[in-house]
Amino acid sequence: MKFKTIKKTKLQKSLTNLPDYGKTYGNFSWTQIEKELAKESGNILNAAYIAIDKHRNTDKKNKIALYYESDNGSKEQYTFTQISELSNQFANLLIKTGVQRGERVFLFLPRIPELFVAFLGILKTGAIAGTLFSAFQEKALLDRLENSEAKILVTDSILYPRVQKILRSLPHLKKIIIVERNAKALPKGEKIIYFAKEMVKMDKEFKIRYMQKNDPAFMLYTSGTTGKPKGVIHKHFAILQQYITAKWVLDLKENDVYWCTADPGWVTGIAYEILGTWANGASTVVFDGRFDPSRWYKIIQDYKVTVWYTAPTAIRMLMAAPDVVKKFDLSPLRHLASVGEPLNPEAVIWSLKAFGLPFHDTWWQTETGAMCIVNIASMDIKPGSMGRPFPGVIADIVDDKGRILPVKKEGNIALRPGFPSLMKSIWRRPQKYRSYFINGWYISGDRGWKDKDGYFWFLSRADDVIKTGGERVGPFEVESVLVEHPGVIEAGVIGKPDALRGEIIKAFVVLKQGVKPSEKLKNELSLYVKKHLAGHAYPREVEFIDKLPKTRSGKIMRRVLKAKELGLPVGDTSTLEEY
């Protein structure tokens, strides 16, 4: 089915003061934006200063930066000055514990105000902040804390038991800071100190560390096809792109109340719930609760949310509850954007009906640090397309040798390095980092095509990385946990297309001789992954098979499993072991 272009001239009059995309592209200059931001920030380069502290010198100093609501409905709010002071106190606490520039401080917390305060405090000291999604279990935590050699971990009493299981394998971890919020009983231990108890002793002023553009600010572990997750390092200067994309694509203005539904355990939560959006002075809503259509709409209604950034799976879940939307007053909403997985055209058409506004798709990755291919607020939308490269970002479709392909030809979605937010490195894996680049292009690992108007269309991943409910999962991590189950010899894991979640995780499992396949065992294996790896990364489907397709050198050929699952031709099997 073909979907009609949504013409912006007929929509959203409030957006017309944005730069016209076609016209600005030619003379866009990062240097110009850098000057603008440097002026606003008194030439101080530290992403935490640019996001928060600079507002203390303006009329935003008493503006609400953070509206927090917990799952049980309790509410808190913090002004820019309060966030600035609290993060200063946390920075002082880190210095007191001996944290130095470049050392890693990790956060394993639910979406509570302390997470935001601590993240900014870490940046202020010049240390590197790492975030860990709160659904992680001990195996996911171990890989990340071990590889990063994190010195300090901030967590709470509910999540701490998962850390406790692996403490002995973490010799570099010197201190664990426990946030007391929601604690029935506080854990005790040699390395443990308590957040609130220490914070009150700390000075509210802190001499922020000045950083160089290339200095690392934060790191995020992300999954590829093979091997353990890798630490993507981002620099302080990435805030330039986070700031300007938040301004032009999320269209943030003076009086906006902005809600990003992502978690700071992932890159969207860092770039567009902390750095880029606060750098624009937006009041941000943080809801630390479960997905539920009525509750979500109530958040929009109660806080009078004007700009909303969310993910396609959530949009599809809202579409599945069509009557709920009518019960709420969502009239303040004026701009919607989406990220993380393909935004199907039906979702855009639905949002036009449900909210009178289309979702604006944005494409980017953990590695790119900020939006790269987008629907700028003022652009015509072609439903189903991810949009066009952001001004200052050069994107194209290239073949495997890095040669540009013509319009409509399928190939690799590639970016020209040189935009400010591209990752600085992969933690301690220089060769892995280099492998991203071919013939002067950064190869994203996504496949797609471009049309004659320069709009990009997503097709698939080039590798076996899974996107389930918008969250990125490496099949290797799931397989590694499955084979630790006493009944399993080996496992192959794929993403299986799913109308609601984009993909679900499906595991093909070879059982040990004598172990009886059963429905009960399937559930047990799913639960096993949920309990030991992560609450979001477990296989929703398990199938027992006699043998996995492998190359002669023993590598599992997931694409063969996938083709079989989908009833598609298996393709070139010349490297396949007899199967």
In this chain, which of 110, 224, 264, 342 binds ligand WTA, going by CB under 6 A? 342
In this chain, which of 79, 89, 222, 280 binds ligand WTA, going by CB under 6 A? 222
Q: 26, 9, 30: which is closest to 18 by C-alpha?
A: 9
In the complex, what is the shortest distance from the CB of residue 481 to ligand WTA, in angstroms, rounded to a whole number? 20
Tell me the one-letter amino acid at 295: R
In this chain, which of 366, 375, 421, 425 binds ligand WTA, going by CB under 6 A? 366
Which residue's CB is nearer to ligand WTA, number 128 or number 267?
267
Residue 59, token pair as written in the block: 């009329």
Rounded distance, CA 304 to CA 312, Å? 22
In this chain, which of 206, 364, 436, 528 binds ligand WTA, going by CB under 6 A? 364
Binding string to ligand WTA for residues 179 to 218, with x set by CB under 6 A, is what?
Answer: ----------------------------------------
In this chain, which of 339, 504, 525, 542 binds ligand WTA, going by CB under 6 A? 339
Phi, psi of 156 (to 5 degrees): -130, 180
Which residue is nearest to ligand WTA, using beta carbons? 366
Return the residues of window 240-299 that contact ligand WTA according to CB under 6 A: 266-268
Q: Does 145 bind ligand WTA (CB under 6 A)?
A: no
Which residue's CB is nearer to ligand WTA, number 113 or number 369?
369
In the complex, what is the shortest distance from the CB of residue 121 to ligand WTA, in angstroms, rounded to a whole number? 24
Residue 96, token pair as written in the block: 């007191």
In this chain, which of 359, 363, 441, 538 binds ligand WTA, going by CB under 6 A? 363
In the complex, what is the shortest distance from the CB of residue 312 to ligand WTA, in angstroms, rounded to a whole number? 8
In whole angstroms, how far apart are CA 72 and each of 102, 295, 299, 515?
A: 37, 11, 13, 44
Return the residues of window 425-444 that contact ligand WTA according to CB under 6 A: 444
Rounded distance, CA 168 to CA 47, Å? 34
Q: Nearest 5°: CA angle at 127, between 121 and 133?
A: 70
Binding string to ligand WTA for residues 375 to 414, with x set by CB under 6 A, is what?
Answer: -----------x----------------------------
Rounded distance, CA 208 to CA 568, Å? 57
In the complex, what is the shortest distance from the CB of residue 415 to ligand WTA, in angstroms, rounded to a whole number? 11
Q: Is the Cβ–Cβ distance between 510 and 490 less than 8 Å? A: yes
In the complex, what is the shortest distance from the CB of residue 184 to ligand WTA, in angstroms, rounded to a whole number? 34
Give the list of residues 6+ apart from residue 292 with CB closer than 8 angstroms, or none: none
Going by their DSSP bridges, the two strands 425-426 and 388-389 should be labelled as: unpaired
Rounded distance, CA 415 to CA 220, Å? 20
Q: Does 341 bind ligand WTA (CB under 6 A)?
A: yes
Return the residues of window 451-470 that contact ligand WTA according to CB under 6 A: 458, 461, 467
In the complex, what is the shortest distance from the CB of residue 343 to ligand WTA, in angstroms, rounded to a whole number? 6
Helix axes 345-355, 312-319, angle to 10 degrees: 60
In this chain, which of 81, 280, 365, 425 binds ligand WTA, going by CB under 6 A? 365
Rounded distance, CA 270 to CA 473, Å? 18
The site that binds ligand WTA (CB under 6 A) totals a number of residues, namely: 23
| Side-chain half-sphere CA neighbours of 19 within 13 A | 15
Rounded distance, CA 173 to CA 104, Å? 10
DSSP code of residue 538: S
Which residue's CB is nearer to ligand WTA, number 271 or number 542?
271
Going by their DSSP bridges, the two strands 373-374 and 388-389 should be labelled as: antiparallel
Q: Which residues pair with 496 in a beta bridge?
A: 504
In this chain, which of 288, 446, 477, 503 binds ligand WTA, going by CB under 6 A? 446
Rounded distance, CA 302 to CA 329, Å? 9
Binding string to ligand WTA for residues 467 to 506, with x set by CB under 6 A, is what?
Answer: x----x----------------------------------
Rounded distance, CA 131 to CA 107, Å? 5
Site for ligand WTA, rule CB under 6 A:
222, 266-268, 339-343, 361-366, 386, 444-446, 458, 461, 467, 472
